[in-house]
Amino acid sequence: MSISRPFPHDAAPYTYDGERLHEAWPDLHRGDCEPWPDATHVAAVLQAHPEAAPGDHDGDETSLASRLQDAWRAFHAGDFESAIELGTALGPLGHAAANKAAGIYAHYLVDDDKLQRELYKAAADRAEAAAAVLPDDPNTWYFHAFNLGRYSQSISVVKALRQGIGGRIQESLDRALELAPDHAEAHTALGLYHAEIVDKIGKMIGAMTYGASPDKAEEHFERAVALAPESPIARMEYGNGLYMMYGDGQLDRVTELYVQASEMNPRDAMERLDVDCALAELE
């Protein structure tokens, strides 16, 4: 049996050829605040951080920008393995495309637990290396936290907390939001971080040890939904967080958030998988 699956839908609606990617970019990246990777952006990054260039860089920023855009095209169309490969080949410059693709691919399409953990760990390591080179890029920190968080869930949150991973996740999310206060996906992740700690070790110990609380979780979830109102995952994770903290006591709110997510029009392969997940939960 295969340990991974291809994107299970027609990719045509999510294929952003040519200028279509640029036109759709603000909507596709409202959640993660990733800047449009044109030659001007690439040149500015490399001028400030020359070490971010891949080993095969020949001074042609237009070529690098084209390669980076292709990595994102692969991601949005659901070709996550290609996005990982193309992004990784670009070194720190391609970290966001590679690491977002790895996290989504592992979460939704990889059936093997070992491979899933390896993908999360490799992405977290890439992000950590990218943060050392690009410390002012919020997505180096966010995708470090995102993949480390998924890795924690795969080995058990309690075990991850004992290993000190929880503190590293919080530090990276705090840094991401310091650099990009309107980063919706980071707000969602931080809300989930608070909710999982409250769920796993309780409100009192969670507050004393990690500063976690239901109020803080809901504050971040609400902020994420306000910043990215058309994002299915913002509502789904809000619902997940509420259920972790309150169980059936908030079931009506949880269900409503999942219904809202299930009714959204997905703009790319990731969002289509999010909507699929919401629909499955409601069955």
| pLDDT given at position 1 | 39
| pLDDT given at position 272 | 98
- The yes-or-no verdict on residue 218 having pLDDT over 50 is yes
Assigned token pair, 150:
């998924």
pTM of the predicted model, to two decimals?
0.96
- The yes-or-no verdict on residue 2 having pLDDT over 70 is no
Residue 241: its H or E element: helix 232-246
Q: What angle do CA 101, 138, 142 make, to 5 degrees?
A: 45
**How far apart are the C-alpha atoms of 120 and 45, rounded to whole Å?**
26
- The yes-or-no verdict on residue 156 having pLDDT over 90 is no
The pLDDT tens digits for 181-210 are 999 999 999 999 999 999 988 888 878 788
Assigned token pair, 249:
């006591």
**How far apart are the C-alpha atoms of 229 and 221, rounded to whole Å?**
11
Q: Which is more confidently placed, 154 or 3? A: 154
| pLDDT given at position 174 | 97
Nearest one of 59, 57, 130 to 96, comparing CA atoms: 130
Residues whose CB falls within 8 Å of the CB of residue 111, separated by 6 or more in sequence, listed in order: 1, 2, 3, 4, 5
**How far apart are the C-alpha atoms of 144 and 53, rounded to whole Å?**
20
The pLDDT tens digits for 70-123 are 999 999 999 999 999 999 999 999 999 999 999 999 999 999 999 999 999 999
- Long-range contacts, stretch 127-130, CB < 8 angstroms, 24+ apart: 127/95, 127/99, 129/92, 130/52, 130/92, 130/95
